[in-house]
Structure 1
Amino acid sequence: MKYTSEIIVDVPRTVFIEKLDNPENMVHWQRGLVKYKPLSSNPGEEGAQMELHYKMGKRELVMIETILKRNLPDEMHATYDAKGVHNIQHNYFEIVSPTQTRWRSESEFQFSGFFMKFMAFLMPGAFKKQSMKYLRDFKAFAEEGKKVSNS
């Protein structure tokens, strides 16, 4: 399953990247993120891995992020692996104006196992909706300092 999500954030690209590239900010705009742990000695660089722990309702999810390409401020690509799901993210950051940044995120989900394939077939909109939620939550955090967490 492939799709593209896009949003314009009303902050200069330098501010956008500063907020997006700080792992300590993730908890403020990624709902359900409980903790993260770098698995590599070169956090944030190409090839680096990070373990992400999410709690969604009663369900807990552990995901491994691997940075594929880091060409900031223009683009950053990564994969996210969890049980039954391999997600490839290509993220592009474009200057719209001196005070606006466009974030275009191209998502590709690959599923293994009957249950995950079945869920993707039944509810492809849920994946798109979740991606847009993260973009909107980041926009609110970057523009207004609005946090999805209590921290």
Structure 2
Amino acid sequence: MKYTVSIEIALPRERVVQMLADPAHMPNWLRGLVHEPLNGMHGYVGTESRVVMQMGQQAMECTETITRREPTDLHGIPKESVVHFDREIVAKGIWSAVRDRFTEAGPETTLWVSENEYRFSGLLMRLVGLLMPSAFRKQSQQHMQDFKAFAEQGTDVREAKG
């Protein structure tokens, strides 16, 4: 299963990328997700992290590996450049690749495009992939909307829960 989601954020690209790269901000916008680096430096190629995703009553533990970050230095990126941030996520019965691209949509606006690919193994996970493809897309879009609200207005998903 493959899908692409995108969102425009009313902040300069360099600021958006810096905020996304800062692990201290993750709890502010990653709803239902625990992210703990196992080795390496957060956000850099080769870094592995333990990720626990909460989807309703179900929790799934995965390992995330950063596979691409270009450029590696995020300061002073030329306007016409695209920032690439790719990662692989593996769990029992699921392999996923996420390829995020950040481009300048305007002087104070960033376009974030996220290409997502999932492969399922085992009968149960294949059924989940066949019966619930929209759930994966909705969760990706929700994370992007939560980040946008946090980046632009300081909205924290932990406070929004109620």
Residue 120 of structure 1, aligned match among 107, 116, 129: 129
CA RMSD of aligned residues (A): 1.6
The residue that corresponds to 1:62 in the other structure is 61
Of 107, 110, 115, 1:106 maps to: 115
More displaced stretch, 14-23 vs 58-67: 58-67
- Aligned residue pairs total 150
CA distance in 1, matches of 2:31, 2:41: 26
Distance, in Å, in 1 between the alignment partners of 2:56 and 2:116 is 24
1:55 Cα deviation from its structure 2 partner: 3.3
**Cα displacement (A) at 1:51:** 0.8
Give the SS at the match of 2:157: coil
Query: When the two structures are superposed, what TM-score results if normalisation uses the length of structure 1?
Result: 0.92
Where does the alignment leave 5 or more consecutive residues of structure 2 unmatched?
A: 75-82
Offset of 1:46 from its aligned partner? Answer: 0.8
Deviations 1:16-67 (A, max 9, x none): 011100112111111112x332111333211110112233443222121100
After superposition, give the CA deviation of every residue in 1:61-113 in whole Å (9 maximum; x if it has no partner).
Answer: 21211000011451100011122111101100000111100000000001111
Closer/same/farther in 2, CA of residues 75 and 143 from structure 1, 3 Å limit: same
Normalising by the residue count of structure 2, what TM-score does the alignment of the two structures yield?
0.86
User: CA offset at residue 3 of structure 1?
Assistant: 0.8
Percent identity reads: 37
1:84 has 2:93 as partner? yes
SS in 2 for 1:44: coil
Partner of 1:31: 31
Q: Return the alpha-carbon distance in structure 1 between the equivalents of residues 21 and 42 of structure 2.
A: 11
Q: For 1:83, give the aligned amino acid.
A: K
Match of 1:3 in 2: 3
Find the aligned partners of 1:60 and 1:104 in 2 and give their Cα distance. Answer: 26
Q: Which residue of 1 aligns with 2:84?
A: 75
Distance 1:86 1:64 in 2: 10
Matched, 1:20 2:46: no
Tell me the distance in 2 between the aligned counterparts of 1:108 and 1:131: 12
Secondary structure in structure 2 of the residue aligned to 1:95 = strand
DSSP-derived class of the 1:39 partner: strand
Q: Which runs of 5+ in 1 are unaligned?
A: none
